[in-house]
Each structure stands twice: as structure tokens, then as C-alpha cells.
Amino acid sequence: MEKRKIGSLEVSLAGLGCNNFGWRIDAEGTAAVVTAAIESGINFFDTADIYGGGQSEEFLGRALKGRRDKVLIATKFGMKMADGKEGAKPAYIRQAVEDSLRRLATDHIDLYQIHRPDDSTPIADTLGALDELVKAGKVREIGCSNFSAEQLREAAAAPGGGARFVSVQNNYSLLHREPEAEVLPECQRQGIAFLPYFPLANGLLTGKYRKGQPFPKSSRADDEFGPKVFTDENLGLADNLRQIAESRGHTLLELAMAWLASKSVIASVIAGAKTAEQVKANASAVAWRLTDADLGAVEGILTSKASHG
């Protein structure tokens, strides 16, 4: 599988989002998904301390036992784990990284990301603490998530000559294109890798959902993001995009992943999976190289939405 750079890291173009581990799937299911990912050429695993209340990191660490050196682990800190355990103050970062290292059963984290901005802490303080972790060998590279272009500029301009963010992970898909306005151009200016989360728009772009048909039981349409994503308009768009994909011998899921992979600023398309089959589908999807004609057809559908909306 093609590899791209996040700072000094060489990551697979398809990454595995581990937010299902410890919540939607157990330790055994996690191990099966991780094995399928590695066999499919995926070397980049993205989790967070908060996923599954810490169990995502634990199950991932267990699943990677004996093959830690074959993969790159990204995790995140900053969202509330318990009372007093959140944010990006230096003292908390030092505690959070030790907790994640223990759960992951590893001595280093390849990409350590602040999960969301912390307005109560100067970014220079946060970067200083993260730089200490890099110098100590506990973290190789640092990144951020849910940052705006302005916050990326502020981080780049912060005093101190230490580690700087090499990646930003934000919500981006065919149906959520907000990063294109400011964040993607800022990434290109700074040489920062962009990591899209929700590349399949909470599952809407898997092709399982059709306008006017009942949704599968226990589907992502029922979770907290469902009402915002599973609108009639988005279902209609997904249907039109599916027709483009199928006319080219591909699936809607393959189009959603390949469209993101067509952008050079994107280092890895991080998609979650609950089964080995889903991982394999995600991994093979990024091999499709969209032509200018393909991209133009997609753009035609998405901009017709904008002009009608």
C-alpha cells in the first residue's frame, strides 16, 4: 500500500480508526480487526484515551503484542477521562501520556495528538510539555485535532524552538467539506499532514443506506451524529455519488476513500471497522486512482447541491 509522511513517520494511505474497540467490539474482535489491517498493508492505528473509556488503547496494545515494531500508533489526550483528567496543561499531559503508554503496553507513542483545543491553557505551555515528551523518547511526533486554521497558525508562531504539530485531524468527507475553506490551505502552507476522521460520514457513505428505505438495525444513523448526517439531502447526494462509483465499477465506499486519497495533503484516510471484511474493503479502496474526469463528475454533484442549497 502507498505510504505518505506525517513528519518523520511513513504511514499507510489507509489508516485504522480504533474508536470501536472496547465499546462496539471486545478484545477478541479487536485482535481480529487489527490482524486483518496488518495483513491488508495498514500500519497506522489511530486511537484515543477516551475511546471505550480507555479500553480501546488496552485492547489495541494487547492485539499488537509481538508486532509493535511493525506499526505506528497514534493516540490522543485532552477530552475528559474523569474529574480533573482533561485539558492540555503540562502537568496533565505528563500524567495522560503515562496512562496511555501503560494501556498501550508500549514505551513510545508514534503520534501524540491533543484531541481538541484547550482555551484555558496557552498553546506554548502545551507545546513545551509535548516537546519534553519527544526529547524523553516517549513520543516521536505531535499532532492536533479539531483545530481551526487560526489555531494552527497560533501554534506555529508560539515561542520556543521545540516540537511542532506535524498533523491535524479534523472531520472531512464528501459530505462535510468545511476544511477546504481554510484548514487544508493552511496545512499546505505549513507542510502539515491532514488526517480526515469520519471519512465515510458516520457510515452514510458505506452504501448501506438508501433514501426511502429503513436503516439497518443498530446503525450509525441512530447515534448522536445521526440526525445531522442522515438528512434527506445527504441521502440523495450519496445516491448520486453511488451511481458515479458504480458506473466506474466501484462502490460508494471506494469513491469516498479514494476521493480523500486523491488529495496530496492527506496522509492517511482513517476509517473505523468492526470486522475484518470492513478493514479489507477500506484498505483496498485507496488503491483506486481517480482521474480528472472522475473528480469533475463528483464535483458536479457536490456543487449542484451547493447551488440548490
Catalytic residues: 51
The alpha carbon of 185 is separated from its chain's Cα centroid by a whole number of angstroms, namely 18
Burial zone of 60 (CB within 10 Å; 0-12 exposed, 13-18 middle, 19+ buried): buried
Assess contact for 188 and 218: CB atoms under 8 A.
Answer: no
β-partners of residue 12 are: 3
DSSP 26: -
Q: Tell me the three cell numbers of residue 91.
A: 502537568
Cell match 450509525: residue? 220
Neighbour order of strands in the sheet with 165-171: 193-197, 165-171, 139-145, 109-114, 72-77, 44-46, 14-17, 269-272
Closest C-alpha among 43, 66, 114 to residue 270: 43
Cell match 499507510: residue? 12
Cell match 438508501: residue? 210
Q: Tell me the three cell numbers of residue 59.
A: 485492547
Backbone angles phi, psi at 300, to 5 degrees: -60, -45
